[in-house]
């Protein structure tokens, strides 16, 4: 294992606290809960319907599926072991690189931000800065918790963010290009 990855995880393991461990475990459990994911899906659908941003919603769903498939496929190619039980609070089976959690959250986040950043008329609208920072914070917290729990090495999370961000950007951009093309704007 890379020395930096091992050093980071050893540092994190030495500085774990009961309160932060409970919070990290609760976030991880919620993220894997079908009930929580169902509530988030319904809430997302309600926002998409209320704002009539169907292409953005489609980009988010496609990004989620593509990132999930790509992460799982790459894990089989890379075959990087997860942190060992001496460092992991959350021992998981399977391969570690890239982090599927990080890839999925980055893909959906970037797809929504990029897809929503373009209007049907072709004028670029920047998302509010506070929204961008909130999205970045959620991505960082989830990635940090995966390392904190010992489910992934730090570079697994970084690889997941890069993979998911690229997928999200491509699908968000694709939906914004199609929206502008149909509105008569230049692609």
Q: What is the pLDDT of residues 16-33, one digit of tens each?
A: 999 988 888 888 887 777
Residue 127: per-residue pLDDT: 60
* Structure tokens given for 14: 């030495």
* Sign of the torsion formed by the C-alpha atoms of 57, 59, 64 and 65: positive
Q: Mind listing the pLDDT tens digit for each residue in 88-98?
A: 887 778 888 89
Query: Rounded to an integer, what distance in angstroms lies between the CA atom of residue 22 and that of residue 104?
Result: 23
* Structure tokens given for 30: 């919620």
Angle ∠(70,26,46) on CA atoms, nearest 5: 65
Query: Rounded to an integer, what distance in angstroms lies between the CA atom of residue 94 and that of residue 82?
Result: 8
- pTM equals 0.80
* Terminal-residue alpha carbon distance, the chain: 45
SS3 of 105-167: the string is: HHHHHHHHHHHHCECCCCCECCCCHHHHHHHHHHHHHHHHHHHHCCCCCHHHHHHHHHHHHHH
Residue 11: per-residue pLDDT: 92
- Residue 121's pLDDT band, with cuts at 50, 70 and 90, is very low
């Amino acid at each position: 294992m890379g020395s930096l990855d091992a050093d980071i995880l050893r540092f994190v393991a030495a500085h774990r606290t009961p309160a932060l461990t409970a919070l990290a475990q609760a976030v991880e459990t919620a993220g894997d809960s079908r009930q929580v994911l169902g509530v988030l899906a319904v809430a997302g659908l309600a926002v998409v319907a209320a704002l009539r941003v169907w292409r953005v919603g489609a980009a988010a769903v496609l990004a989620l599926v593509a990132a999930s498939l790509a992460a799982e496929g790459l894990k089989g190619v890379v075959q990087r072991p997860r942190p060992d039980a001496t460092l992991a609070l959350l021992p998981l089976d399977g391969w570690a690189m890239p982090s599927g959690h990080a890839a999925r959250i980055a893909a959906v986040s970037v797809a929504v931000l990029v897809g929503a950043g373009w209007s049907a008329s072709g004028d670029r609208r920047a998302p509010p800065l506070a929204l961008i920072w909130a999205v970045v914070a959620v991505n960082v917290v989830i990635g940090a918790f995966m390392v904190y729990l010992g489910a992934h090495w730090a570079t697994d999370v970084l690889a997941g963010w890069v993979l998911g961000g690229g997928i999200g950007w491509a699908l968000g951009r694709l939906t914004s290009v199609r929206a502008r093309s149909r509105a008569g704007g230049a692609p």
